Chains A and B, each alone.
Chain A
Amino acid sequence: MKTCYFRPLALCAVLLLTATPGFAGAEDVRVTDPWARASIGVNRPGAAYLTLHNTGQDDVTLTGVTTPLALRPEIHLTSTNAEGISSMRRAGDITIAAGESVSLEPGGLHTMLMQLQTPMQEGESFPLTFEFSDGGTVTADVPVLGLAARGPLE
């Protein structure tokens, strides 16, 4: 039923993907390469990274994100200007065209996890639910890697 259209099957096998039934757009969204760094306690915000693939025939628009891990999860965009100064702001809605994908990765888009409810412990994982403008949602299970992790598990 949940056919994996992208990349190594092994990778897809470890993903827990659930799409709300009944919506044409969001249910065509697949998640690959989810990961996050461990946190030290709960005072600092965390960040989660992954790639969203729109495998459907229609554009989808990502409007929000929720997780039991954080009271204030938001999609942010980090950018670095010509003077080398990095800044971060809310990304706003993100449209993923049919057949396209959007990567949340260090230095670009990230899911910022503000007001953590529990520490992010290496070896654990947490659910992250993306909300789309058609009312559908997609949930990914995000593994927590070490504090000095540099990317998803191979």
Chain B
Amino acid sequence: MMRRRAALKYGAVAVLAAGAGVLGRRFLTDPGTTPEAQDVLPLPLDQMSFNLTRHDGAPTGPEQLVGRPAMVFFGFTYCPDICPTTLADIADWLHELGPEAEQLNVVFITVDPERDTVPIMRDYVGYFHPLVQGWTGTPDQIARAAGDFRVRYEKVPLGGGDYTMNHTAGVFLFDETGRFATLIDYHEPREFAVPKIRRVLTPVTEERT
């Protein structure tokens, strides 16, 4: 008993989850991981080929994002934890950037087209920041968009007929030419995230001189 207590005391987080065996190596967030490590990067925007619908009902696609820097992430509006946290973080970064942020296209693409219809997206995105666009489509259209971004998602039952979605959680940054620039990891601190955004806000031509 004493030994166990001592061991726990020195653990960073003294949580003993009964389900720890099931949770396995996925236990808690590892802030050091990035998809760059796995060599699967989003295509350049001008090589993507999907069609979706914006929250205001207008047809849209990757071509709408070329010419200005873009911030894109995937999620779903029935997500209680990761997605509102990401949207709240994004709103915070945009406020920090001030008027500079208005050059950005900020896009939230749903991985749950079954529930996230156009009116649902319209109601939802406005709560976070006026710059955030919500894109949805048919399940096939969403699958195609996710494929172009190398995003993975999966429907997981929660019991009682309810379900949640596992999904790639980072925020993708593209420069104004449509080239993938970098990823902001889930819940990355503002002091790392904001400079990454400032970098894509710097025009590519200027950057190269």
Interface residues of A (CB under 8 A from B): 37, 40, 43-47, 59, 72, 76-103, 106-110, 112-115, 147-150
Contacts and interface: CB of A to CB of B under 8 A. Distances in A.
B68 to A, nearest CB: 24
Contacts of B29: 78-80, 107-108
Interface of B: 4-5, 8-9, 13-20, 22-23, 25-30, 33-35, 37-38, 77-78, 80-82, 84-85, 87-89, 91-92, 123-124, 127-129, 152, 156, 158, 160, 162, 164, 166-170, 183, 185-187
A112 B186 contact: no
Main secondary structure of the interface of A (DSSP, over half): strand
Contacts of A101: 14
A109 B19 CA distance: 13
Contacts of B17: 77, 91-94
Contact of A37 (B38, B84, B92): B84
A18 to B, nearest CB: 24
Given A79-B28, A83-B152, A110 B81 contact: yes
Given A79-B23, A86-B167, A94-B17, A149 B34 contact: no
Contacts of B158: 114
A93 B18 contact: yes
A44 B78 contact: yes
A86 B88 contact: no
In the A-B complex, the 8 residue pairs with the smallest Cβ-Cβ separation, listed nearest first, are A92-B19, A92-B18, A95-B16, A86-B169, A97-B8, A100-B14, A87-B166, A106-B85
B19 A80 contact: no
Given A87-B26, A102-B15, A82 B81 contact: no
B167 A112 contact: no
A80 B16 contact: no
Nearest to B169: A86
A109 B77 CA distance: 19
Given A45-B78, A80-B169, A83-B168, A89 B23 contact: yes
Contact of B19 (A47, A89, A96, A99): A89
A90 B5 contact: no
B85 A85 contact: no
17 contacts: A37-B84, A40-B127, A44-B78, A77-B27, A80-B33, A84-B169, A85-B152, A85-B167, A88-B81, A102-B13, A106-B187, A109-B15, A112-B81, A147-B88, A147-B128, A148-B127, A150-B85
